[in-house]
Amino acid sequence: MSVRVENLTKLYGENKAVDNISFNINSGEVVGFLGPNGAGKSTTMKIITGCIASDSGEVFINGVNIKDDMTSLKKTIGYLPENNPLYLNMYVKEYLEYSAQMYLQKSEVTKAVEAAVEAVGLGEHQFKKIGELSKGYKQRTGIARAMVHNPSILILDEPTTGLDPNQIVEIRNLIKELGKEKTVILSTHIMQEAEAVCNRAIIINKGKIVADNSLSNLESENAGNVISVEFDVEIPLDKIQQISGVKQVKGDGKIFSITTEGDKDIRKDIFDFAVKEGVSVLSMTKNKGTLEKIFRELTTK
Ligand code: ADP
């Protein structure tokens, strides 16, 4: 199922929380919706899920405008809101049954709850009171609730907030697993999360989209033009300077950091140089742009 957002704008008084954003997410994609706090992630998610209305712009789920048919479209979307609101006095199973009944026929509820419990690994915890669960299992319960009606699209707002490192890994693995069958939009301000789970990132800052690309494209487009190289013997710096395409060289002896002219990849020239000089290259790496660096560059302006 696809999600298309066209020229969406949401104002809170004078504040443009979402400022004329557009994007298109295809069926089966796992997309990270990234941005610093206050960027407009939650507001966008609330609009897509029909919880709040936009001031202008449209949202289409599989080509159907949510304004035309939100009631049936809600069945195709599972939403984990920010801070995972749960009824702490209810039992997990009871809560999931209650949630499932909102979307499904009575006869479908038991099976649906069993499937959701199984998918998120709630196991015996399904018989506990929600208020007695650890944070990780509360989060699993929230995700189970979001997917109990087997929606094709999952929208997860900061799903790992407040979890410990082990729980974070578990929830990320769970999302990856779910992403094999569903379209997933996941908001986060943690870059490692996006790298671990998503294949595409939409970066939002101050209500505007500042990047939208696959993670690999984002990283290679923003790759540094610095090559680190280690030779087996010492080489004078001025010799390295003479390699074609070299702009600047740092280091001395065996290890060098070479800045190239523009984005030119001169790794082959360095190998050819080594062969000509009769020396060996022990290691050579072209620095990759990290998502963290890209995020900082795009969201601190
Ligand atoms: P994010 O999810 O990226 O942290 P939000 O979408 O929650 O960002 O918020 C975007 C902007 O809208 C922020 O400036 C925030 O203060 C403002 N905002 C969000 N919800 C409300 C609201 N209910 N009333 C007023 N301002 C709001």
Residue 24 and residue 141 share a domain: yes
Q: Given a cut of 70, is residue 222 above it in pLDDT?
A: no
Q: Given a cut of 70, is residue 95 above it in pLDDT?
A: yes
Vertex 157 angle, CA 14 and 206, to 5°: 30
Amino acid at position 298, single letter? L
pLDDT band per the 50, 70, 90 thresholds, residue 223? low
Residue 229 and residue 198 share a domain: no
Contact 136/167 with Cβ under 8 angstroms? Answer: yes
Q: Higher-confidence residue: 218 or 103? A: 103
Query: Domain with 252 in it: what CATH number?
Result: 3.30.70
- Probe residue for ligand 1, chosen from 8, 10, 12, 18 as the CB with the greatest number of ligand atoms within 8 Å: 12
Q: Higher-confidence residue: 231 or 165? A: 231
pLDDT band per the 50, 70, 90 thresholds, residue 85? confident
Q: Quote the percentage of the chain above a pLDDT of 90.
A: 66
User: In this structure, is residue 299 part of a structural domain?
Assistant: no
- Probe residue for ligand 1, chosen from 5, 8, 10, 15 as the CB with the greatest number of ligand atoms within 8 Å: 15
- Residue 55 confidence (pLDDT): 97
Residue 113 and residue 250 share a domain: no
Number of independent structural domains in the chain: 2
Domain residue limits at 126: 3-220
Residue 279 and residue 194 share a domain: no
- Please say which residue of 220, 241, 261 terminates a domain: 220
- Residue 132 confidence (pLDDT): 96
Residue 123 and residue 166 share a domain: yes
Q: What is the mean pLDDT of residues 164-172?
A: 86
pLDDT per position as a tens digit, 228-244: 999 999 999 999 999 99
Query: Domain with 184 in it: what CATH number?
Result: 3.40.50.300
Provide the 10 A C-beta neighbour count for residue 7: 12
User: In this structure, is residue 300 part of a structural domain?
Assistant: no
> β-strands 77-80, 64-65: how paired?
unpaired
- Please say which residue of 200, 220, 240 terminates a domain: 220
User: In this structure, is residue 65 part of a structural domain?
Assistant: yes
- Please say which residue of 220, 247, 273 terminates a domain: 220
Phi, psi (deg, nearest 5) at residue 214: -65, 155
User: In this structure, is residue 11 part of a structural domain?
Assistant: yes
CA dist 50 and 159 (Å) reads 19
Residue 189 and residue 258 share a domain: no
Ligand 1 contact via 17 beta carbon (within 6 Å):
yes
Q: What is the mean pLDDT of residues 216-228?
A: 76
Report the nearest-CA residue for atom 15 of ligand 1: 38
User: In this structure, is residue 100 part of a structural domain?
Assistant: yes
- Residue 261 confidence (pLDDT): 81
Question: Which two three-digit tokens encode residue 212?
Answer: 């939208």
User: In this structure, is residue 294 part of a structural domain?
Assistant: no
Q: What is the mean pLDDT of residues 81-99?
A: 94
User: In this structure, is residue 80 part of a structural domain?
Assistant: yes
- Residue 217 confidence (pLDDT): 82
Q: Given a cut of 80, is residue 133 above it in pLDDT?
A: yes
Nearest by Cα to 160 from 147, 149, 173, 151: 173
Cα 17 to middle of ligand 1, angstroms: 6
User: In this structure, is residue 7 part of a structural domain?
Assistant: yes
Q: Where are the alpha helices (DSSP H) in 148-259?
A: 165-179, 191-197, 215-221, 237-241
**Cβ burial 199-238 (10 Å sphere, 16+ → b, else e):** ebbbbbbbbebbbbbebeebbeebeebebebebeeebeee
Residue 140 and residue 53 share a domain: yes
- Residue 69 confidence (pLDDT): 86
Handedness of CA 161, 162, 163, 169 (dihedral sign): positive
pLDDT per position as a tens digit, 20-56: 999 999 988 999 999 999 999 999 999 999 999 999 9
Residue 299 belongs to what H/E stretch?
A: helix 291-299
Residue 22 and residue 37 share a domain: yes
- Residue 289 confidence (pLDDT): 66
Report the nearest-CA residue for atom 22 of ligand 1: 12
